[in-house]
Structure formats: C-alpha cells, structure tokens
Amino acid sequence: MNRVVLVAGASSGVGRDAAASLAARGHTVYGTSRDVTRVDAPGVTPVALEVTDDRSVRACVEEVVERAGGIDAVVYSAGFYVAGSAEETDPELAIAQLDAYLVGAHRLVRAVLPHMRRRGGGRLLLMSSTAAVAAIPFHSVYSASKAALNHYAEALRYEVEPFGVRVACVEATSVRTGAATALRTGAPLPVYQPVRDKVLDRFRRLQLEGPEPTAVSREIVRAVEARRMRPLYRVGLQAKTLPVLRAVLPRRLFAHLYGRFFGLGRPPGD
C-alpha cells in the first residue's frame, strides 16, 4: 500500500537514507531541510522546514497536505549533536538542543495531528537513541533530550491511539552518520579536557564501527509498512542489549561497566 510519508531531516544521515528507502518502496515521500537544495535522495520531493519555527512547521504540513491530499506517516529525524560536560554547555546551547529534538518534534506532531485525526489514523515515528536508556558521559543535554523524547512519545501514545494514530520511537546507537565529527560544544574548560577528550574519541571510534544508516532505515520502512506498528524499534546489538543489562545488573555494577566502556574510572556515587 502506497503511503504519503513526511521525513523531517532528510538532507543527511538516517533521515536521508530512510527517505530514499521509502521512495524506493513506492511510497510518496516528502523530505525536509532548512535548505531544500540539500534534499537530493532519489524519488523524494523536497520541502522547506525549520523545526524551531512554528510558522515554518505549519507551512510545511499544509503544503504536503495540499499537494498529496494528506499525510499517512511522519518520520522525525531532525536535529544536531551537542557534546561536552554539563558545565561547558551554556544554557543557550542546551535550549537549542532540546528545541531541535523535543520541541521540534512537538511542533510537527501538533501540526500534523488534526489532519491524521480527520483521516482516521496515521503513524508518528520519532528517532531516539540508546542514550535515552543510559545517559552517555559528556553528552548530558543530548541524553536528556532523547530521554525526554521517549517519555513524550509514551504519553502521546495514550492520547492519540483512540484516533487511530500510532506512535513509535526508533532507538539506535553509534550510527555511522558522521555526526560525531560535526558536534557542537560550548567553551572548553581545561579541568575536563583529559577525560572529555577520551570519551569523545571513544564515541567517534564507536560511530565508525556502528551500524550503517541503512540498518536504521530498514526498521523505519518496516514500521511504516507494518500492519500494526510497534511502539519501539531497536537497531543494532548495543541498542538491544544495553536496556537488558541496565534492567538486570545492580546499579553500581552497571555504572562501573558502562563507565569502563567509555574509558572512565570509578562509577558515579561509588
């Protein structure tokens, strides 16, 4: 069944690959970016969108509805990557991170829900991370934004499923998108440098070894096409095993092992 899918953040990474994969499957795909010239996936129609601007979000949704007659599914994969210690991350950067991942998703959800309710259903897929399950050291704001997105999706599910609208999160980790080489940071403090640099170097190496965006886009396609979409899709071995380890291991042991994984010493609170 051909569906009309709006992919937010389709100019690069998972969003671009998901848009291309959905179009290749015969779906009608609209891909967004602040700069529409960067939406170059085959078979994808570019639409301008700035997720931090209410008017831009409303205009994007109205344009797609007018051109396609409605929207069956939304894939939210927009955002950027903030790293560094909490003390190094100024409030403006923290607000921008939350605006991109959480509030931006909320803007798009609010804009599209009236159309989905009138049509009697739809699908909302929000790109999350295993950082929502176990916060990554020196990624406090990033981890908080993904955890908030997961809880947002959980609450939203209760509210909109009576209208036939399904909500899902897609969790992955260390996907090879190149985001770790284009991170945003605040003003560095020398006191954090040795440990911070060790953790960020470790994260960059993990991303080089992580799953390709195609692994994530396959799950997104599966969710869009499924007879009944699941509330959670986890991609990759780490994304599947980390929540289990966190649930079954004693807190101190998990913190010790997780810290060691990133090259840290004693666990917090030890």
**Cα 42–46–51 angle (5° rounding)?**
130
**How many other CB atoms sit within 10 Å of the CB of residue 89?**
22
Q: What letters, b where the CB count within 10 A reaches 16 and e where it falls short, cover 228-253? A: ebeeebbbbebbeebbeeeeeeeeee
The tokens describing 239, both together, are 């994304």
Are 242 and 173 in contact, with CB atoms under 8 Å apart? yes
Q: What are phi and psi of 224, to 5 degrees?
A: -65, -35
Are 52 and 98 in contact, with CB atoms under 8 Å apart? no
**Cα 91–97–101 angle (5° rounding)?**
145
Positions marked active-site? 11, 128, 142, 146
Exposed/middle/buried for residue 14 (C-beta within 10 Å: 0-12, 13-18, 19+): buried
Q: For residue 146, give Cα distances in angstroms to 24, 28, 126, 152, 238.
A: 29, 28, 10, 10, 16
Order of strands, edge to edge, in the sheet holding 4-8?
Answer: 44-48, 28-33, 4-8, 73-76, 122-127, 165-171, 232-234
**CB neighbour list of residue 265: distance below 8 Å, 6 or more residues apart:** 259
The tokens describing 217, both together, are 């886009």
